[in-house]
């Protein structure tokens, strides 16, 4: 407390006030604050029952009388000389200032027996955005303008009061983000500054950022949605493709952070992995029953997909296998489709039950050319019924099912067809283990991002 408050008092301008909220302390904090308050005219303290961070900050907002508002947490220290450099920047045209800061961690080096300081600078460039939509455009494209924290910003108090913007109670975390999204919706000009405002000091391994939270997945998804609602509505100069890429990047980043917490919080893994798997692998179709044709989408390593197709067809001697993929297989000098055709033949599938498509080099074209081949197979009698009466299975990697399903919905041919998505899992890409291997994790997180990017201009046409 002395370090944090002291970093402000030593440089607080005479025309500025410091509002301190004692959020129900049970030690000697209140007595120390009373002594501090009695000796300073521009320091005011509120002693409140414990209500949490949002309630405490809202108390402070209600007490504040200044034109501009900024916040500090109890683990922050204002950089020396900050006010002297920041105050001249203030102008009537700007509604929001975003400053740089640095994160400081003190970690014990067990081997050396000393505490080491690690500093991570978090910086923005000096820039003025004349309207908030231009700021939103930049954020959608750059994705890193330090929008989360409430402690590196100056807010216009009249704007907060005019629109009733306050911190939301009941949030386990992320209340800063929601406060900022609410505020941005009413902003005019925004200004970012390379000037370092404070040091965010992390000494306690049990701090709020490292403790376990119930319902973590749903809280993160709510925060992600709020972020998209804010920036996608404010951004006027970005394309649909840029907005989809922004959405996918943010979603996959949030999922990655959830997974990074698993080793420390195995209870969060048990609770949240099923939700993440539902997001990654999608809804599962009923894959039982017989199939007239099974489309097997190729990949760099597609033997496991061919095995899944054989398993799905079972002993049905009438099922036709349509193997597709024009890229080179990992064994080299052979296409994905040709590899699977030879693989199926070696396992007893007659050549007349195999259709080969090796022209397409992406999933969208694989699906389009497969549709044309099925129509041709109906005409020539290889397939016994009209395409709309066939049961068609599509075998692809389990993590690729949602995007494959989305792609079929952009191809009119598939609209009236009986389509079943059949997930195949390689040994390292199963629901229970994909996140344990760094390569598999990267591929699957990339797929989560790509699922937000399926559109007419993303199909490879």
pLDDT by residue (tens digit) across 273-290? 999 999 999 999 999 999
pLDDT at residue 40, rounded to an integer: 82
Confidence label for 456 from pLDDT (cuts 50, 70 and 90)? very low
Residues 295-309, mean pLDDT to the nearest whole number: 95
283-426 CATH choice from 3.30.70.270, 3.40.50.620, 3.40.50.1220, 3.30.450.40: 3.40.50.620
Question: Where is pLDDT greater, at 134 or 333?
Answer: 134
With cut-offs at 50, 70 and 90, classify the pLDDT of residue 111. Answer: confident
In this model, does residue 41 exceed pLDDT 90? Answer: no
Check whether 206 has a pLDDT greater than 60: no
Residue 390 token pair: 């066939």
Angstrom distances, CA of residue 424 to CA of 95, 145, 346, 409? 52, 40, 20, 21
Predicted confidence at residue 16, as pLDDT, reads 95
Higher pLDDT, 333 or 203: 333
Calculate the average pLDDT of the chain. Answer: 93
Q: Which residues of 201-236 are buried (b: 16+ CB within 10 A; e: fewer)?
A: beeeeeeeeeeebeebbeebeebbebbbebbbebbe
Nearest C-alpha neighbor of 66 from the set 142, 156, 170: 156
pTM of the model: 0.89
The sign one gets for the Cα dihedral 218, 219, 220, 226 is positive
Q: Label residue 207 by pLDDT band (50, 70, 90).
A: low
pLDDT for 223 beyond 90: yes
- Predicted confidence (pLDDT) at residue 460 exceeds the cutoff of 60: no
Q: What is the dihedral of CA 396, 401, 403, 404, to 10 degrees?
A: 50
In this model, does residue 50 exceed pLDDT 50?
yes
Average pLDDT rounded to a whole number, residues 346-356: 96
Question: Do 85 and 195 touch, CB atoms closer than 8 A?
Answer: yes
Give, in order, the Cα–Cα distances in Å from 429 to each of 96, 399, 439.
45, 8, 10
Please tell me the distance from the alpha carbon of residue 249 to that of residue 177, in angstroms, as a whole number: 17
- pLDDT band for 332, please (50, 70, 90 cuts): confident
Q: Which long-range contacts (CB under 8 A, 24 or more apart) does 380-386 make?
A: 382/320, 382/352, 382/355, 383/292, 383/293, 383/320, 384/292, 384/318, 385/292
pLDDT at position 204 is: 58
Give 6-75 as a DSSP string: HHHHTT--TT--EEEEEES--SSHHHHHHHHHHT-TTEEEEEE----HHHHHHHHHHH--SSEE----TT
Mean pLDDT of 150-179: 96
Per-residue pLDDT, 461? 38
- 2-203: CATH topology is Spore Coat Polysaccharide Biosynthesis Protein SpsA; Chain A (3.90.550)
pLDDT of residue 454: 58
Mean pLDDT of 117-134: 96
The Cβ of residue 325 has, within 10 Å, a number of other Cβ atoms equal to 28
Q: What's the pLDDT score for residue 122?
A: 96
pLDDT (tens digit per residue) in 368-380: 999 999 999 999 9
Give the model's pLDDT for residue 452: 74
């Amino acid at each position: 407390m002395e370090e944090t408050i002291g970093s402000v008092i030593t440089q607080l301008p005479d025309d500025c006030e410091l509002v301190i909220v004692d959020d129900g302390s049970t030690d000697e904090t209140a007595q120390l604050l009373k002594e501090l308050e009695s000796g300073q005219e521009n320091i005011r303290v509120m002693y409140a029952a414990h209500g949490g961070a949002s309630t405490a900050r809202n108390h402070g907002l209600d007490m504040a009388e200044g034109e501009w508002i900024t916040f500090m947490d109890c683990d922050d220290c204002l950089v020396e000389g900050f006010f002297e450099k920041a105050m001249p920047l203030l102008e009537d045209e700007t509604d929001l200032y975003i400053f740089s800061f640095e994160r400081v961690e003190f970690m014990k080096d067990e081997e050396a027996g000393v505490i080491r300081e690690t500093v991570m600078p978090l910086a923005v460039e000096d820039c003025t955005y004349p309207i908030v939509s231009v700021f939103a455009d930049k954020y959608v494209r750059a994705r890193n303008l330090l929008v989360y924290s409430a402690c590196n910003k100056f807010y216009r108090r009249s704007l907060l009061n005019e629109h009733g913007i306050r911190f939301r109670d009941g949030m386990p975390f992320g209340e800063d983000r929601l406060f900022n999204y609410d505020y941005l919706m009413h902003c005019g000009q925004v200004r970012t500054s390379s000037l370092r405002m404070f040091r965010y000091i992390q000494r306690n391994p049990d701090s709020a950022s490292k403790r376990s939270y119930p319902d973590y997945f749903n809280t993160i998804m709510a925060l992600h949605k709020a972020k998209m609602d804010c920036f996608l509505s404010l951004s006027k100069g970005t394309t649909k493709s840029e907005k989809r890429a922004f959405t996918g990047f943010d979603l996959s980043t949030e999922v990655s952070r959830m997974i990074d917490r698993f080793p420390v919080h195995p209870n969060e893994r048990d609770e949240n992995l099923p939700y993440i798997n539902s997001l990654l692998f999608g809804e599962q179709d009923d894959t039982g029953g017989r199939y007239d044709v099974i489309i097997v989408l190729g990949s760099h390593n597609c033997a496991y997909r061919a095995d899944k197709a054989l398993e799905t067809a079972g002993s049905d001697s009438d099922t036709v296998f349509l193997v597709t993929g024009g890229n080179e297989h990992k064994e080299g000098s052979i296409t994905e489709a040709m590899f699977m055709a030879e693989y199926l033949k070696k396992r007893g599938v007659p050549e007349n039950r195999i259709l080969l498509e090796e022209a397409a080099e992406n999933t969208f074209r694989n699906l389009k050319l497969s549709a044309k081949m099925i129509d041709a197979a109906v005409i020539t009698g290889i397939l016994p019924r009209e395409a709309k009466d066939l049961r068609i299975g599509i075998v692809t990697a389990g993590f690729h099912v949602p995007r494959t399903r989305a792609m079929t919905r952009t191809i009119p041919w598939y609209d009236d067809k009986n389509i079943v998505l059949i997930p195949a899992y390689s040994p390292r890409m199963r629901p229970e283990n994909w996140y344990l291997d760094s390569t598999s994790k990267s591929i699957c997180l990339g797929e989560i991002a790509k699922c937000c990017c399926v559109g007419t201009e993303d199909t490879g046409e």
